[in-house]
Amino acid sequence: MSELLKVTHLHKEFGANVVLKDINLSVKKGEVVVIIGPSGCGKSTFLRCLNGLEDIQGGVITVDGLPVEAGKRDITKLRQKIGMVFQSYELFPHKTVLENCILAPTKVQKRTREDAIKEALELLDKVGLVDKKDYYPRQLSGGQKQRVAIVRALLMHPEVILFDEVTAALDPEMVHEVLETMIALAKAGSTMLIVTHEMDFAKAIADRIIFLDKGDIVEETTEVKDFFAEPKTDRAKKFLKTFTYD
Amino acid sequence: MASLGIDVLFKGTNFLRLLQGLWVSIEISLIAVVLSIVLGLLVGMLMTVENKLLKVILKIYLETVRIMPQMVLLFIVYFGTTRVFGWDMSAESSAIFVFTFWGTAEMGDLVRGSIKSIPNIQFESAFALGMDKIQTYLYIILPQTVRRLIPLSINLITRMIKTTSLVMMIGIVEVLKVAQQIIEANRKVSPNAAFGVFAVVFLLYFLVCWPISRLSVYLEKRWA
């Protein structure tokens, strides 16, 4: 399988605060990579670097062989290849569900309105929200908003989708519906990078687990079940222990 | 009870003249308000640009407008510029210029505040979809800014309408000036006219400003 996303020697700092040091990662097409780690370890910042929302102080990120450089003019072209779903959904509050979905495809990719609407309705139907197409975001629950946000990202036909703690702001009973949607995407062969605190979900969906701590990849493995049963490093052990009560 | 002096308005074309005067006020404020909104959006966006020089210039502009009484500004533009720069501006153009100069600065500041109040992640969400800066402003930020702007700008717009009463100082015959003329002309026959006529002027201003403030309540509810 071909390499879709490649990160070499990524270095990111905010002033004197080094957030990511020498990160190397290569993601193949169709792979689902789950990034876990304690809060403040740099997971979200890492995702934000990947589509140029953060500038980087060293290293190279390429998507499809093209370098990601924040602030460059053609970053908008690259971002179309990289979908992103945020923790706080970030739907556009002044637009309906359908308008949220078709805005970028029609304005950025210059697809016809009919074409975009047709696909949007199909995808909304898949996530069970086609009857909400004319609702405004404020009329939806958190879980519904997040599923719309996923559909909105999918409509751009991204080659890889970044999920930044997409269930962290949701009530427990809504977490499930969003995770189901993501598992369906993974099964359909989407390339995904997921930052999450849902360990059972990570276990179920991941082809590869990356454990990040203090801006460093501490453990990386494709033996997902083994990782959760018996992590190799002490830091990962300690981290996983915080999710159990005994 | 003494006469309220409203009767003079029914003599001859007095009431019609008063309405014509009102139209002059409305015309000046309407043109100035529309120009201020358009230019204010532009200035407001410039105010959010991270550029020291631009910031200082716009700050001086805003503070000048805030500190200087509108009447002084009217006098400078109408009487002052004619001799010094040789500009032959009509009183109406001078008034529109001054009111737009004022409105743009204040509207700009309101726009700046509204843009700043939109969470940064809305920009990022648009960028993540591949939109460039212009598309992001056009489709995402400005529509939300305008919605937040309505209640704030209504206050400014009604203030601008009310302040047009100053333009009679540079010889424009607007509603208040007409009212004065009517009162002066009827001083002997109807000495109480000052009360009645000015009360009607008061009512006319209310009738102009009230629908605007109702409109803002309506839009606020619709866009909430």
Closest among B51, B34, B70, B92 to B166, alpha carbons compared: B70
| Domain CATH for A102 | 3.40.50.300
CA distances from A76 to A156, B35, B104, B123, B201 (A): 12, 34, 33, 13, 57
Q: Would the pLDDT of A1 be above 70?
A: no
CA distance A156 to A154: 5
Evaluate whether residue B10 is within a structural domain: yes
Contact A94 B125 (CB under 8 A): no
Evaluate whether residue B144 is within a structural domain: yes
Closest among B67, B58, B73, B90 to B166, alpha carbons compared: B73
The answer to whether the CB of A69 falls within 8 A of the CB of A85 is no
What is the per-residue pLDDT for B190?
Answer: 81
The answer to whether the CB of B40 falls within 8 A of the CB of B103 is yes
Tokens 């302040």 correspond to B163
The full 3-state SS of chain B, as one line of letters, equals CCCCCHHHHHCCCHHHHHHHHHHHHHHHHHHHHHHHHHHHHHHHHHHCCCCHHHHHHHHHHHHHHHHCCHHHHHHHHHHHHHHHCCCCCCHHHHHHHHHHHHHHHHHHHHHHHHHHCCCHHHHHHHHHCCCCHHHHHHHHHHHHHHHHHHHHHHHHHHHHHHHHHHHHHHCCCCHHHHHHHHHHHCCCCCCCHHHHHHHHHHHHHHHHHHHHHHHHHHHHHHHC
Buried-state track B193-212, b at ≥16 Cβ within 10 A, e below 16: bbebbeebbeebbeebbeee
Evaluate whether residue A246 is within a structural domain: no
What is the per-residue pLDDT for B1?
Answer: 58
CA distance A138 to A97: 10
Evaluate whether residue A136 is within a structural domain: yes
Evaluate whether residue A89 is within a structural domain: yes
Confidence of residue A245 (pLDDT cuts 50, 70, 90): confident
Structural domain containing residue B86: 6-223
| Domain CATH for B197 | 1.10.3720.10
Contact A53 B128 (CB under 8 A): yes
What is the per-residue pLDDT for A61?
Answer: 93
The count of CB pairs under 8 A between chains A and B is 57
> In angstroms, what separates the C-alpha of B96 from chain A's closest C-alpha?
34
Burial of A6 (0-12, 13-18, 19+ CB in 10 A): middle
Tokens 């990579």 correspond to A33
- Interchain CB contact of B48 with A (< 8 Å): no
pTM of the predicted structure, to 2 decimals: 0.81
Evaluate whether residue B195 is within a structural domain: yes
Mutate to test the interface with A, among B121, B125, B221 (most CBs of A within 10 A): B125
Evaluate whether residue B128 is within a structural domain: yes
What is the per-residue pLDDT for A57?
Answer: 92
pLDDT digits 0-9 by tens, B60-89: 999 999 998 989 999 998 988 887 888 888
The number of C-alpha atoms within 13 Å of B98 and in the hemisphere containing its C-beta is 29
Evaluate whether residue B79 is within a structural domain: yes
Query: From chain A, which residues contact B within 8 Å (Cβ)?
Result: 51-53, 76-77, 79-80, 82-84, 86, 88, 90, 92-94, 103-104, 107-109, 152-153, 156
Nearest CB to A79; choose among B128, B143, B147: B128
Contact A83 B128 (CB under 8 A): yes
Evaluate whether residue B1 is within a structural domain: no
| A214 Cβ contact list (under 8 Å, min separation 6) | A41, A42
The answer to whether the CB of B104 falls within 8 A of the CB of B40 is yes
Q: Would the pLDDT of A27 be above 90?
A: yes
Q: Which two tokens stand for residue B108?
A: 């700009």
> In angstroms, what separates the C-alpha of A106 from chain B's closest C-alpha?
11
CA distance A180 to B98: 61
CA distance B79 to A17: 60
Tell me, what amino acid is at B2?
A: A
- Interchain CB contact of B139 with A (< 8 Å): yes
Closest among B218, B207, B113, B108 to B161, alpha carbons compared: B207
What is the per-residue pLDDT for A217?
Answer: 93
- Interchain CB contact of B143 with A (< 8 Å): yes
Specify the pairing of strand A82-85 against strand A58-63: unpaired
CA distance A127 to A116: 17
The answer to whether the CB of A119 falls within 8 A of the CB of A87 is no
Tell me, what amino acid is at A8?
A: T
In the DSSP assignment, the letter for residue A180 is H
Contact B121 A90 (CB under 8 A): yes
| Size of chain B, expressed as the number of residues it contains | 224
Number of independent structural domains in chain A: 1
Contact A104 B140 (CB under 8 A): no
Number of independent structural domains in chain B: 1
Evaluate whether residue B14 is within a structural domain: yes
The number of C-alpha atoms within 13 Å of A51 and in the hemisphere containing its C-beta is 29
The crossing angle, in degrees rounded to 10, of helices A172-187 and A142-154 is 20
Structural domain containing residue A56: 3-241
CA distance B103 to B40: 7
pLDDT tens, N- to C-terminus, chain B (224 residues): 567 778 788 888 888 888 898 999 999 999 999 999 999 999 999 999 889 999 999 999 999 999 989 899 999 989 888 878 888 888 899 999 999 999 999 999 999 999 999 999 999 999 999 999 999 999 999 899 888 888 888 888 999 998 988 888 888 888 888 988 888 888 888 888 888 889 999 999 999 999 988 988 888 887 76
Q: What angle do CA B112, B114, B120 make, to 5 degrees?
A: 95
Please report residues of B whose CB lies closer than 8 A to that of A155: none
